[in-house]
């Protein structure tokens, strides 16, 4: 059987220090220096066809983009529509490649909801890997949404194969979000077995109701469109190296920046600033990319944002809290502040990670 990695090896090499990665087992409470071949992997984790397609249709394409455009960027990054497709496809793949174990309660809920809500990670991967353009990914999203609208409307649904609600959830979140690139200065990023960290803060689904209220006041068609893009997550962070990461940010937060939306959104009294609401950054840090036309194509211009140590500790803590068993880093001395912060994000005992 093939030894499959649920975190790609080319990403893991970006967490090397002296050709080794520091691999931490949160269950056994062990810390080891390992090579990338033996971490975040399991024999037969994916069927051979999916393993081959992961390399050919997602990892290879994104590795080229990473090395050519992202890895050595200092201040700005410009992406074409095709390059943005490669990035977003890779993020969707990252979101469905780790196979979570469902609880009995979750399994019972899925039985009630029906076959379209069953979690089949191989099916998710096959469907997203088959998409070769951004238009094809959006067509897949639209197909799932039509199934969901018919379900809610009580109309004939067709075959359950027409829908894949677990994949729809990830597609909707990533395709309708905008990208932020961030770098660290001192404290380094770690990487968890699930490959990401998710934040859903105090606004939650009230983001949607806020936009609905704004639409009734303004009748702006842009706001009507924004209503359809918003989900419960505020953002998801995907570490790409020990000092570089991508954040997929809910489009609602464009309303808090100097963007195409020229409306003032009232902040909650308990969370009067962006930093208190999102637990990192400010209005400038969460600004969406600038868009300009280059011939007939759009070009997206991103300013790279540099994080404070407090910001990095928050993101690392999210990822520790999200991890199922393993985390890894380049230098455990460079995540000590994060380990301290993470005790407020998880019930796990992290004392074994502390360095005297």
Is residue 268 very low, low, confident or very high in pLDDT (cuts 50, 70, 90)? confident
Q: Which of 163-167, 240-244, 279-283 has the highest mean pLDDT?
A: 240-244
What's the CA gap between 241 and 67, in Å, rounded? 12
- For residue 215, the model assigns a pLDDT of 86
What's the CA gap between 272 and 270, in Å, rounded? 6
Q: Phi/psi of residue 227, each to 5°?
A: -55, -35
- For residue 157, the model assigns a pLDDT of 52
What's the CA gap between 179 and 250, in Å, rounded? 9
- Asked whether the predicted pLDDT for residue 163 surpasses 90, the reply is no
- Asked whether the predicted pLDDT for residue 187 surpasses 90, the reply is yes
Tell me what the mean pLDDT of segment 57-79 comes to.
Answer: 96
- For residue 59, the model assigns a pLDDT of 97
Instruction: Using DSSP, state whether 61 is helix, strand or coil.
Output: helix
Contact assessment for residue 307 and residue 186, using Cβ atoms and an 8 Å cutoff? no
Is residue 67 very low, low, confident or very high in pLDDT (cuts 50, 70, 90)? very high
- Asked whether the predicted pLDDT for residue 109 surpasses 90, the reply is no
Is residue 355 very low, low, confident or very high in pLDDT (cuts 50, 70, 90)? very high
Nearest residue to 308 (alpha-carbon basis) of 329, 328, 285, 289: 285
48-62, 89-103, 106-120: range with lowest mean pLDDT: 106-120
- For residue 206, the model assigns a pLDDT of 83
CA angle 110, 111, 113 (to 5 degrees): 60
30-44, 51-65, 100-114: range with lowest mean pLDDT: 100-114
- For residue 86, the model assigns a pLDDT of 97
Q: Which residue in this structure is represented by tokens 């990822």?
A: 319
34-43, 52-61, 122-131, 218-227: range with lowest mean pLDDT: 218-227
Helix axis angle, 81-96 relative to 121-129, nearest 10°? 170
- For residue 155, the model assigns a pLDDT of 62
Mean pLDDT estimate for the chain: 91
Per DSSP, 290 falls in state E
In this structure, is the dihedral angle defined by the CA atoms of residues 262, 263, 269 and 271, taken in order, positive or negative? negative
Nearest residue to 54 (alpha-carbon basis) of 18, 10, 105: 10
- For residue 211, the model assigns a pLDDT of 86
- Asked whether the predicted pLDDT for residue 158 surpasses 80, the reply is no
Q: Which of 136-145, 226-235, 345-354 has the highest mean pLDDT?
A: 345-354
């Amino acid at each position: 059987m093939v030894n499959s990695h649920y975190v790609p090896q080319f990403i893991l090499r970006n967490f090397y220090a002296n050709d080794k990665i520091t691999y931490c087992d949160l269950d056994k409470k062990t810390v080891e220096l390992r090579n990338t071949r033996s971490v975040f992997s399991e024999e037969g984790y994916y069927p051979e066809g999916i393993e081959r397609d992961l390399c050919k249709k997602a990892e290879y394409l994104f590795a080229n983009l990473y090395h050519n455009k992202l890895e050595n960027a200092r201040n700005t990054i410009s992406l074409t529509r095709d390059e943005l497709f490669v990035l977003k496809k890779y993020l969707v793949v990252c979101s469905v490649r780790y196979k979570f174990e469902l609880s009995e309660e979750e399994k019972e809920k899925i039985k009630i909801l029906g076959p379209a809500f069953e979690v089949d990670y191989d099916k998710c991967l096959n469907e997203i890997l088959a998409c070769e353009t951004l238009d094809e990914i959006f067509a897949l999203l639209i197909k799932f949404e039509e199934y969901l609208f018919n379900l809610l409307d009580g109309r004939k649904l067709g075959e359950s194969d027409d829908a894949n609600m677990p994949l729809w959830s990830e597609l909707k979140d990533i395709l309708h979000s905008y990208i932020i690139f961030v770098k660290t200065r001192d404290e380094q990023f770690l990487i968890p077995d699930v490959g990401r960290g998710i934040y859903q803060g105090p606004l939650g689904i009230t983001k949607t109701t806020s936009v609905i209220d704004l639409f009734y006041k303004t009748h702006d068609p842009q706001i009507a469109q924004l209503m359809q893009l918003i989900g419960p997550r505020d953002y998801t962070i995907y570490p790409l190296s020990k000092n570089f990461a991508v954040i997929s940010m809910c489009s609602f937060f464009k309303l808090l920046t100097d963007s195409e939306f020229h409306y003032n959104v009232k902040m909650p009294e308990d969370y009067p600033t962006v930093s208190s609401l999102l637990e990192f950054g400010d209005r400038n840090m969460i600004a969406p990319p600038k868009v300009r036309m280059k011939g007939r194509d759009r070009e997206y211009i991103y300013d790279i944002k540099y994080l404070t140590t407090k910001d990095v500790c928050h993101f690392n803590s999210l990822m520790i809290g999200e991890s199922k068993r393993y985390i890894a880093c380049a230098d455990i001395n460079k995540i000590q502040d994060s380990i301290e912060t993470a005790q407020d994000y998880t019930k796990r005992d992290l004392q074994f990670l502390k360095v005297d």
